[in-house]
Amino acid sequence: MRNHWRRALLLAAAAAFAAGWAGCASSDPGGPGNGGGNGADATVSATDGLVFQPASVTIQVGQTIRWQRTGVLTHTVTFDPSRAIDPDKVELPAGVQPFFGNLTQTYSHTFNTAGQYRYVCEPHELNGMQGSVTVNP
């Protein structure tokens, strides 16, 4: 009887692991105005080392950044002070609405307003996982 429970537990763990990896294989189609992950002008990796690489990106108005998860940890791209533990770590130019992306695989955003943007990864904000985007006119 003991082996039966052990086998059931192992099978359940293997199924959960496989389901998790299957989810990692899908790509984020992007939402309206998010560029769908294609045609990016810059790419930022969200790593299992709890950093965005590169941490700072400079682009022009109208260009798109694509964030991609490069490991197994879940990350977010949070440009919304109300979602951050420390709202001062998130910065948006005046008039820009907050936005958020969950990195199941990729997330893209086109920046249409010049200025300085700062963002965090919600699950790893306390670990210092943050980045910045400078958008030039």
Domain with residue 9: its CATH number is 2.60.40.420
Strands (E), the chain: 42-46, 52-53, 56-60, 64-69, 75-79, 99-103, 106-110, 115-120, 130-136
Residue 116 has pLDDT above 60, yes or no: yes
Residue 39 has pLDDT above 90, yes or no: no
Tell me if the pTM is above 0.75.
no
Where is mean pLDDT largest: 6-10, 16-20, 60-64, 102-106? 60-64
pLDDT for 104 equals: 87
Q: Which long-range contacts (CB under 8 A, 24 or more apart) does 125-128 make?
A: 125/78, 125/84, 125/85, 125/86, 125/89, 126/85, 127/50, 128/50
pLDDT in tens, 73-87: 999 999 999 999 999
Band the pLDDT of 38: cuts 50, 70, 90: low
> What is the domain count for the chain?
1
pLDDT in tens, 44-70: 999 999 999 999 999 999 999 999 999
Range of the domain at 56: 2-136
Band the pLDDT of 41: cuts 50, 70, 90: very high
